[in-house]
Amino acid sequence: MTTRPRPTSPHLSVYRFTITMTTSIVHRVTGGALYVSSALLALWLAAAAIGGSVFDGVNALYGSWFGMLVLFGYTWALFQHLFGGIRHFIWDSGNGFEPGKREAIAWGNWAASAALTLLVWIVFVWIG
């Protein structure tokens, strides 16, 4: 009895990394980041309910350069995940599977999340 080598399943080294793959991975990562970052919102709300020096301390932390960087990333993750969900909604409706459209939707996801993040921060943080 001769044994034949079992076929192996293709892995990451076989596939060319595409924008849709990257966007899908980032969608999962931003979902996890939003889950964990919700604690930041809960902390701020709890501090607001307590008031006084606790609220001032949390605002000072969030207003520091590191806090602002984290909040900027949180804002971007929120929009990136939102547009990733819209991308999946489009696909769930049976649209956007053509090769050009898949990549266009993925690039649009990145462009829209970056643009809206900057717009929100320009309007509500840096100007307002």
- Residues at the annotated binding site? 81
Cα separation, 94 vs 92, in Å, equals 5
In contact, 39 and 89? CB cutoff 8 Å? no
Q: How far apart are CA 48 and CA 46, in angstroms?
A: 5
- The C-alpha atoms of residue 117 and residue 86 are separated, in whole angstroms, by 17
- Neighbour tally for 39: CB within 10 Å: 9
Annotated binding site for heme: 81
- Per-residue tokens: 83: 């547009």
* C-alpha dihedral sign at 48, 53, 57, 62: positive
